Structure 1
């Protein structure tokens, strides 16, 4: 049964559909977070409350992931004693470090530059998996596919505004560090999934990381004072996005090379632009450049996955 599931999860159509679903959900988070800020009346520069908001989102995401996993396994999804340390380490990398660096960095740079730097996480994940942990081989085909996909990320974000030559450690530097934390979390999630259920790991690391982020937000002076039913509904949706997408992403990483899955991360900003145009009435952001970017990202994903299929 285990072998059948492993073979099924390695099928190209399953990887493509599963990874694209994750990226579509993550892409929807970009405009929905903005809507959430509006509903909770969180200011653009109120980093403390943004971190508090993110912590609440991830705590709820963890609870949902644990509930879903328990239903699917037909028994409570509980961590083994040996998994506690792995959960804490994952939550530190994936939730706490990544998002603390991201939110603080975003307050000191433009959204365009942040999105482009975030696109580097695919390169870093593949390099870390190949050169440091030796989980797979680094090939010219993988790097070519990544370069083409990254070109799409740059195109979809460059719209004549938000770009300049200025670089700051607390701005662009922190955004880059968030990508490094994400890359290492992907590698460790794949490694830990050999011994533990990836949905269990996702759920408990979100709960742990969410609590830490809420405490950080409170400690920095953050407060959620304007609470409405619409705001709570949006918070629950964002929690659902994280619970479903990260759990599914973890399952895909468990059964496939990191490069084969991570390369789909280039689709996040593409989905983000398209869904922002729909949900935030930013129709002007979709044009010929966006379509070219989508083509480049798809070509990059195809090249990387074609190499994996041949092997």
Structure 2
């Protein structure tokens, strides 16, 4: 069995899909406390936007390099992009890395981890809602609508605690909602591009382009601070 066939069978097996989804949920959920701890350990204040932009850029730059190096062993030919694909991959990097995590990192610094976990999940609900208008074969019916309500209520109840309040600020909760909105548009673009580009290569390139933009914007501002 070839390597590509093995990966395809693994990613389409129902049990593998469930295991991967659970692992991704655990890793994504760990981002909130880890980032909060990172802010404290690195001495980043809530208003230090430049530091958070640079921090995000460094993380995604390293992640992109690791993923692209892995692709060298999986399918090196898949790393090659066509000239006409570059603007779209760069656009995906702007949406899914630069803008999404600019809003996410800065929004997280101005709200509690519990509220961030709830609001960041809005990106998933935005995808389901917008898909109704974008794809003819993915219409929103009463079952999906009830599922959305139950899913959101479940996230709220799971994260309910002392830090859970109904206070809303643009630079906190507002930024997290914008992060979810940008993420939804990035998801639709990624779905389209993944039909032509290997998903691993697409993720690596878009993170690399997105990290360059974050570093290009954040580093000069960081260097000019007293």
d(CA) in 1 for partners of 2:41 and 2:168?
32
Q: How does 1:265-280 map to 2 (within 5 A)?
A: none
Q: How does 1:121-200 map to 2 (within 5 A)?
A: 121-134=123-136, 136-164=138-166, 166-200=167-201
Q: How does 1:23-42 map to 2 (within 5 A)?
A: 23-42=25-44
More displaced stretch, 193-202 vs 127-136: 127-136
d(CA) in 1 for partners of 2:160 and 2:220?
36
The answer for the alignment partner of 1:275 in structure 2 is: none
Q: 1:103: how far off?
A: 2.6
The answer for the alignment partner of 1:55 in structure 2 is: 57
Query: Is the CA contact (8 Å cut-off) linking 1:129 and 1:135 kept in structure 2?
Result: no
Query: Is the CA contact (8 Å cut-off) linking 1:49 and 1:222 kept in structure 2?
Result: no
More displaced stretch, 3-12 vs 91-100: 3-12
The answer for the alignment partner of 2:91 in structure 1 is: 89
Q: How many residues get paired?
A: 222
Query: Is the CA contact (8 Å cut-off) linking 2:108 and 2:176 kept in structure 1?
Result: yes
Q: 1:93: how far off?
A: 0.8
Q: 1:142: how far off?
A: 2.3
Query: Is the CA contact (8 Å cut-off) linking 1:127 and 1:138 kept in structure 2?
Result: yes
Q: 1:160: how far off?
A: 2.8
More displaced stretch, 22-31 vs 53-62: 22-31
TM-score under structure 2 length normalisation: 0.85
d(CA) in 2 for partners of 1:10 and 1:34?
35
Q: 1:221: how far off?
A: 2.2
Deviation per CA, 1:123-162: give whole Å up to 9, x if none: 1111122222445232322232232222121012220334
SS of structure 1 residue aligned to 2:79 = coil
d(CA) in 2 for partners of 1:41 and 1:167?
25
Shift in CA distance, 29/160, structure 1 to aligned 2, threshold 3 Å: closer
Query: Is the CA contact (8 Å cut-off) linking 2:46 and 2:110 kept in structure 1?
Result: no
2:19 to 8, 17, 20: 17
Q: 1:60: how far off?
A: 0.8
d(CA) in 1 for partners of 2:173 and 2:39?
23
Q: 1:65: how far off?
A: 0.9
d(CA) in 1 for partners of 2:72 and 2:190?
19
SS of structure 1 residue aligned to 2:222 = coil
Q: 1:37: how far off?
A: 3.0
Query: Is the CA contact (8 Å cut-off) linking 2:108 and 2:116 kept in structure 1?
Result: yes
Question: Structure 1 regions of 5+ residues with no counterpart?
Answer: 224-311
Q: What is the alpha-carbon root mean square deviation over aligned residues? A: 2.6
Q: How does 1:222-261 map to 2 (within 5 A)?
A: none
d(CA) in 2 for partners of 1:85 and 1:129?
23
Question: Structure 2 regions of 5+ residues with no counterpart?
Answer: none
d(CA) in 2 for partners of 1:95 and 1:85?
15
